[in-house]
Structure 1
Amino acid sequence: MKTERRYDIDWLRVIAIGLLLIYHIAIVFQPWAMFIGFIRSDEFLEGLWKPMTMLNVWRIPLLFYVSGMGLYFAMRKRNWKQLLLERTKRILLPFVFGFVAITTLHMYIFQTYYDIPLGYYPHVGHLWFLGNIFAYVLLLLPLFFYLKKNENGRFKNGLSKFMSNPIGPLSISLFFVFEALLVKPPLFALYAETWHGFFLGLLAFFFGFLFMYSGKTFWQTVLKWRYLYLGIATVLYGIRYFEFATEAPGYLTAIEANCWIFGVFGLGYKYLNRPSKILSYLSQAAYPVYIIHMFVLYIGAMLILPLEMPTVLKFIAITAFTGIVCYLLYEFVLRRVVFLRPFFGLKWTSKKIERSKLHSPDINLE
């Protein structure tokens, strides 16, 4: 079945992963970086964290939403067995490989930088996101295929109608409010390897699928009311920043996060839903770069932090180093060495086929 191309969703996924890289680099310059296993600069840029406190409540939930949307597209042309096999190859295989071979690399670099005795410590690290996504696929696939079989039923028609007014998307935040009240996370943005991150991601993944399933009305609503959502998010961020020193109660932050995301969806739908060769390339590169970026970042920090230069320039230099080296590794190693491709979420195709795809606007976010 032919489906409408949604270039804006591809773009949002690429942008979210780009923000993730910058966010992780910003952590290097915070005084608490070592407590979460990051190489830490001796000079801090604590002011850099102020904009990060706005991003950190919605950047990961956005990726979960987009992942749920991606599953909707993938289901349009696969049965449950094909989908499960495809998701095992694209998600579980890179997750397991990354657990034993990728996250250990930045641990080695951390040990080397701080003169800690070297040891082999396989761990989830930043790849926790992949483990969560695969779990959501297993948990929700029966329900999603049931909904697919009843695509013209009353539930879809009712959902589509419910999403036709601005209260529809906004009401979804109630589920996230209940999650925050029940789980009571000490920090809302503490997603990695926590029950809060798991349940919040499950909700975002589920509703991401439902938003696509409901049809165009959701997108028309967030397009029309995007500035309302962004306005609510701005007010709630102001309250969080000035009244709660950036850590507001979870129920308020849950509403703020969803309002940022719905506003971003509206902006993306208006300005980013068009084909581009750059998007085709970046959409393919985003997943492998996400997998490798941490050990590249750690190498950059190890090389650049000891240099005599202003701290701001160190941040810029590490950012540039991470971006350039990730590009070089993707372009000249991961994309071209055929046997490596499946371990980084790429299809096992020849270089010739891959080159032809890069000139096609039809690379989906599946």
Structure 2
Amino acid sequence: MTTERRHDIDWLRVIAIGLLLIYHIAITFQPWAMFIGFIRSDEFLEGLWKPMTMLNVWRIPLLFYVSGMGLYFAMRKRNWKQLLVERTKRILLPFAFGVVAITTLHMFIFQIYYDIPLGYFPHAGHLWFLGNIFAYVLLLLPLFFYLKKNENGRFKKGLSAFTGNPGGPLLISLFFVLEAVMVKPQLFAMYAETWHGFFLGLLAFFFGFLFVYSGKTFWQTVLRWRWLYIGLAAILYSVRYFVFATEAPGYLTAIESNCWVFGVFGLGCKYLNRPSKILSYLSQAAYPVYIIHMFVLYAGSMLILPLEIPVFLKFMAITAFTGIVCYLVYEFVLRRVVFLRPLFGLKWTFNRLKRQATNIVSESKT
């Protein structure tokens, strides 16, 4: 398997999670926020939702694609047992801990803000994504390792030729169209804890793996034809926005979603595929920040929404509060407290600390 590091994939994961934070903050200022369990501002910024209607059809599919790509790279130096243990530590453990101890926090804040009797009930909340990813790993691992053992076979050669054509990536949208037609989601962007979200995520995860598995041809294609994909996506978004009031039939939105994703991959390949110290830091921080951001957002909403300041300043203040507090919690708590690290998807440091302690003892004896 190739050992080339794709820094653009790391960047896109970081960017997608950053967009997720902005998206969730924007929900706070929409009239329907309470219907999906968000603290709601009494003053609205419905204009914020216009750009969000473009983002919300591809930001989550992008994360699923990137997760499938990440699994490919994780398989390079691991057998199936090692990979399963690693994914259990990195995904299932934070998911299980989050369900009982993290998602409940923002619901407590919601109950306090609206003077509702406090009640504890574990739930997946925004961490549903992790549960899906772990399920996909279990479902697809046998197939992926079979493909790994047959990297010089006809399938990979055919896949490489397929992804080398600009129409190749577009044709896989037919699977997403079929999913939308068969599942018939009420809203295309209603991914959380729905069968639509599960099957769409499964497809994106699967094809994300295949795209990296196919070799360099996929990246050459999205790099060369990125503006074609973005242009098609913009046209389809315009149709969705002006003709269907942002909620087009699922089969059209599925095609638009993939066009955005392939265009974003092309832009990432062009501008982001290079290492940096900032990327190194952010790529480690993104996962734990994703886990904690909801209760930080709710805490910021509880503190800032009652203030008598213009509503746009409230949006800016909540955005700043969420970003700064997430950084402080990550940097000074999650990153440094050894027993918390694995609970938030960070690498275990026990062995490194043990070696450091051994070295200190050895030096003291000499």
Q: TM-score, normalised by structure 2?
A: 0.95
Answer whether contact 1:90 1:346 (CA < 8 A) is retained. Answer: yes
- String of CA shifts for 1:102-159, please: whole Å, max 9, x gaps: 0000000000000000011111100000000000000000000000000000000000
Partner of 1:218: 218
Partner of 1:290: 290
Hey, what's the Cα distance between the residues in 2 that align with 1:215 and 1:178? 27
In structure 1, list runs of 5 or more residues that go unmatched.
354-366
Hey, what's the Cα distance between the residues in 1 that align with 2:23 and 2:39? 14
Partner of 1:248: 248
- String of CA shifts for 1:313-343, please: whole Å, max 9, x gaps: 1000000000000000000000000000000
Hey, what's the Cα distance between the residues in 1 that align with 2:75 and 2:5? 14
Partner of 2:303: 303
Hey, what's the Cα distance between the residues in 2 that align with 1:80 and 1:59? 29
Hey, what's the Cα distance between the residues in 2 that align with 1:324 and 1:352? 29
State yes or no: 1:139 paired with 2:139.
Answer: yes
Hey, what's the Cα distance between the residues in 1 that align with 2:77 and 2:199? 28
Deviation at 1:5, TM superposition (A): 1.1
Partner of 2:54: 54
Partner of 1:127: 127
Letter in 2 for 1:180: A
Hey, what's the Cα distance between the residues in 2 that align with 1:21 and 1:350? 31
Hey, what's the Cα distance between the residues in 2 that align with 1:134 and 1:291? 15
What SS does the corresponding residue of 1:244 show, helix, strand or coil?
Answer: coil
Partner of 1:358: none
- String of CA shifts for 1:264-286, please: whole Å, max 9, x gaps: 00000010000100000000000
- String of CA shifts for 1:142-191, please: whole Å, max 9, x gaps: 00000000000000000000111100011010000000000000000000
Deviation at 1:97, TM superposition (A): 0.1
What SS does the corresponding residue of 2:243 show, helix, strand or coil?
Answer: helix
1:1-366 correspondence runs (5 A) = 3-349=3-349
What SS does the corresponding residue of 1:43 show, helix, strand or coil?
Answer: coil
Q: State how many pairs are aligned.
A: 354
Deviation at 1:350, TM superposition (A): 5.9
Deviation at 1:349, TM superposition (A): 1.0
Partner of 1:362: none
Hey, what's the Cα distance between the residues in 1 that align with 2:133 and 2:15? 19
In our comparison, the structure showing a higher alpha carbon Rg is: 2
Deviation at 1:2, TM superposition (A): 6.5
Deviation at 1:60, TM superposition (A): 0.1
- String of CA shifts for 1:181-203, please: whole Å, max 9, x gaps: 00000000000000000000000
Letter in 2 for 1:117: P
Hey, what's the Cα distance between the residues in 2 that align with 1:98 and 1:351? 25
Partner of 1:363: none
RMSD of aligned Cα (Å): 1.2
Q: TM-score, normalised by structure 1?
A: 0.95
In structure 2, list runs of 5 or more residues that go unmatched.
354-366
